[in-house]
Amino acid sequence: MAQSVEIIVKEKEGSTEINFPWLPDEISYKSGGVQFSTYKLLNFREAARPSSVGLAEVSWEGIFPGEARRDHPFCTGKWKSPSTYQAILNKWKNKKRLLKITVTGTPVSMYCYLKDFECTWSGGAGDCHYKVGFLEYRNISVTVKKAKTKSKSKSSEKNRLGGKLTAKRPASLAPSTFVVKTGDSLWSIAKQLLGTGDRWKEIYSLNKSAIEEAAKKHGVKNGYEVFAGTKLKLPKK
């Protein structure tokens, strides 16, 4: 049985939310492009290396149905006037509210800001045709590390004096894991740790039982959503 799709946007700090009543024909998800740093080499050729990943965007066009359509079969949930939705979206945009958008049945689940919103009132039914766009929120943290003072080890000193060195075998590495934090999604974790959000399915496959168990504890049927505190195994980069 196919899972029904819902578009839910709610405040991170607050109780206001919108469950969009009329699903659009399509939803556009644009992953942040890779940004490159370029270098001039000695032979005057250019080289490029990836330096960072841009922010993801989600957008679509839809309808807030007027009162004449309140009982229309495409209209889900309790009907609200289009002006109510317009007021909420304008407040979110003007107040720069941090939001969370979830599209059930898809991997789209992220914290974001309302980037664009425009609407047009048309038709005798009182419909409001709108366009909306959301831009991914990314937490910025800076860690300052103290420089370590280099000291000569006994092995390096012995090597300098012509002694024999015995190479040590490196300890085996523990499996790579990651603990989910608030605001993370499978897509953002894959993009941050594996270099591309397209590898989110690999993380899901490795951790399917853990992800779905955590979702059930939070009363969510969508197994693609992840919750803070869940420990995930990571595939090789």
Q: What does the pLDDT look like over 55-102, one tens digit per residue?
A: 999 999 999 999 988 888 888 888 999 999 999 999 999 999 999 999
Percent of the chain at pLDDT exceeding 90: 39
Instruction: Give residue 121's domain range.
Output: 7-38+46-136
Q: Given this model, what pLDDT does residue 93 score?
A: 95
Q: Given this model, what pLDDT does residue 9 score?
A: 97
Tokens 């993009």 sit at which residue?
Answer: 191
**Would the pLDDT of 191 be above 70?**
yes
Q: Would residue 149 count as lying in a domain?
A: no
Q: Structural domain tally of the chain?
A: 2
For the chain, the average pLDDT equals: 83
Q: What is the pLDDT of residues 102-114, one digit of tens each?
A: 999 888 999 999 9
Tell whether 128 and 55 lie within a shared domain: yes
User: Which CATH number is 114's domain given?
Assistant: 2.40.30
Tell whether 107 and 209 lie within a shared domain: no
Q: Would residue 144 count as lying in a domain?
A: no
**Would the pLDDT of 192 be above 70?**
yes
Q: Are 185 and 222 in contact (CB under 8 A)?
A: no
User: Which CATH number is 202's domain given?
Assistant: 3.10.350.10
Q: Would residue 142 count as lying in a domain?
A: no
**Would the pLDDT of 171 be above 50?**
no
Of the given ranges (25-39, 44-58, 138-152, 221-235), which has the lowest mean pLDDT? 138-152
Tell whether 93 and 208 lie within a shared domain: no
Which among 136, 153, 185 is the end of a domain? 136
**Would the pLDDT of 1 be above 50?**
no
Q: Given this model, what pLDDT does residue 143 score?
A: 74
Tell whether 28 and 108 lie within a shared domain: yes
Q: Given this model, what pLDDT does residue 76 score?
A: 82
- Position 2 confidence tier, pLDDT thresholds 50, 70, 90: very low
Q: Given this model, what pLDDT does residue 174 score?
A: 41
Query: Residue type for 91, please?
Result: K
Q: Would residue 2 count as lying in a domain?
A: no
Tell whether 118 and 184 lie within a shared domain: no
